[in-house]
Amino acid sequence: ADSVTKIRDRCADNQKRSVNTGSNLSALRNILVCIVSQPRNKRPMTGPAVLLLALLGSSLGFHSFIYFVSVGFAASVALTTAVALFVYNLIIKESQIPVLTNLHTILALIWSLRLILFLLHREYVTWPSFHDKLIQVNQDSVLASKFPVWITCGLFYCCLCMPCIYRMNHALEAVSTATASSMSSVTTQQWGPVGITGIHLQIIGLSIETISDAQKQSFKNAPNNVNRERWCHVGLWKVCSHPNYLGECLFWLGTYLGGIGGQQHWHQYFISGIGLAGILAVVRGLYLALLRKQMLHYGHEEEFSHFSERVGFFGPKLFFRTSESLRRSSSIRRSGVQIGVSGIEEDLRRKSSQLDSGDDLDVSLSSQVQTTADVATATTSSTLEDRMNRMYVEQTLSAQQQHHLQQQQQHRSPTPPPALDEKGSSDDDAPNSFPFTDTEAHK
């Protein structure tokens, strides 16, 4: 009751002072106190207040649709953590929040500010074409479709930030009941080994993510854009396939562990768990999408194939084949695919002779693709290079068959399809060479 009376009196005094002096800072302070404060249960920031801040930050997505999950994400975390630090440390002056509790929230604020600067610098400075793509995506989106995305993202970001708020509320309650002599023991009991481990994971994850992003940006922005289309394999990217995503997972895992000591009810564990599970699922989806993109762009490169055999998401793999076995299996796969192409070539010639003789023939692209897939599967298609070879064979043969069928449908004289040479190339519009014999032509 005394604390309620003091805070209300302070609100009234500050309101009078702001009217007399016209101080905008005091007015903002009073607004924050009256909106987010609930002194009756000693929890200045609750779930609804955090949700409003998260929705305010993610509303940047109405400017550009992709901002809902990029800049808006970082802005929501930055706004929530900054207001929390301001309210708990400046507005409620009777409280003395422990250093580790403030550090837990400050690290989240630093993470969000770094991400905002990185994303905006990449969009407007280092990758201007990406900004044009964002404009096109925003123009293609409908305003009505943005509201469900906005609400979903706001709820998700609120769950992510709640461990910091739970820790702040718990520290405020503990400090208000503790004496000055027992303050240090209360701080130690609040955190414990799990909370301290979470702080360390936050620092490690933030460091890994920052360094890996800087290394990749420096690699891609080499003079004359020589590395713009190349696969990044410098620094941390030598020992981990996606160190930036690994660092983000470690950071949010540390944020969750750091907030466990401040969670007292089952619904608090549930809300924080939703945030952690959601960010891990998002990172996993991004990782798989980028892995497929890398397979299409760099899958034909032998160096990338060796790297994917040796290194994974969490770093170097414990069990992998030696370089000699990789070269041996690569040569076996190449010869096997060439043998398969020779057999398919003979089959096409046989079908062409049937067309020349006037026999009816139902050429099925699906059956031909299935035959190609069976051949490639029989030649140990377990690596990225095999998948690229299968895709190349399927596309080449399908294009040849479609061209031959169009000639037949237009009542032209049937002509045999172009013959494939020993490298898998033809004289028509098909690619000039097989991917593992001429890398530049394939690219």
State in Å, rounded, how far the first CA of the chain is from the last one: 73
Q: How does pLDDT run across 52-84, given as a tens digit for each residue?
A: 999 999 999 999 999 999 999 999 999 999 999
When comparing pLDDT for 372 and 131, which is higher?
131
Q: How does pLDDT run across 302-323, given as a tens digit for each residue?
A: 888 888 888 888 888 876 544 4
**In whole numbers, what is the pLDDT of the chain averaged over residues?**
74
pLDDT of 235 over the 80 cut: yes
pTM of the model: 0.66
Give the other-Cβ count within 10 Å of 385's Cβ.
24
> Tell me, what's the pLDDT at 294?
86
User: Of 5-14, 87-96, 114-123, 433-442, where does mean pLDDT reach its minimum?
Assistant: 433-442
> Tell me, what's the pLDDT at 192?
86
> Tell me, what's the pLDDT at 18?
47
